[in-house]
Amino acid sequence: EADIYQTPRYLVIGTGKKITLECSQTMGHDKMYWYQQDPGMELHLIHYSYGVNSTEKGDLSSESTVSRIRTEHFPLTLESARPSHTSQYLCASRSGTGELFFGEGSRLTVL
C-alpha cells in the first residue's frame, strides 16, 4: 500500500473562506502533484513539485497555491473559496521508477 495521505477527505465550507488541503507522503519521493477532478471527468494537473522549494503550475489554470517546504509535505491552499472550486483534489507522488501513488482525495464543496 502507498503511504500517501490526504486530509480532510471531505470538506464543506462557505464562500470566501480560506482552506488548506493537506498531503503527506512517507516514501521520500521528490516529485509530487496535485490533480483536480470533477465527477466522471478527466484528471487535470494543477500543480507539481520537483522537490523542496520547487513548485510549478500544471495544465489547468487554478486559483490555488502550493508550497513545498519539506519533502514529505505538499499542501494546497485556496485563499478565498468559491463555488467554482467545488471538486475533488487528488495528491500524488512519483517513485524513482516512474509510478505515481495517489492519496484518497479531498472532496471540497463550497456553498
Partner 1 sequence: DAKTTQPPSMDCAEGRAANLPCNHSTISGNEYVYWYRQIHSQGPQYIIHGLKNNETNEMASLIITEDRKSSTLILPHATLRDTAVYYCIVRSPQGGSEKLVFGKGTKLTVNP
| H or E stretch at 89 | strand 87-94
Candidates 14-22, 65-73, 75-83, 89-97; binding stretch for partner 1 (CB under 8 A): 89-97
- Please, which of residues 9-38 interact with partner 1 by CB under 8 A? 31, 33, 37
Q: Which of 19, 21, 16, 38 is nearest to 86 (CA)?
A: 38
Provide the grid cell at 86: 467545488
Given the rule CB under 8 A, which residues bind partner 1?
2, 31, 33, 37, 39, 42-43, 45, 48, 50, 56, 58-59, 88, 90-92, 96-105, 107
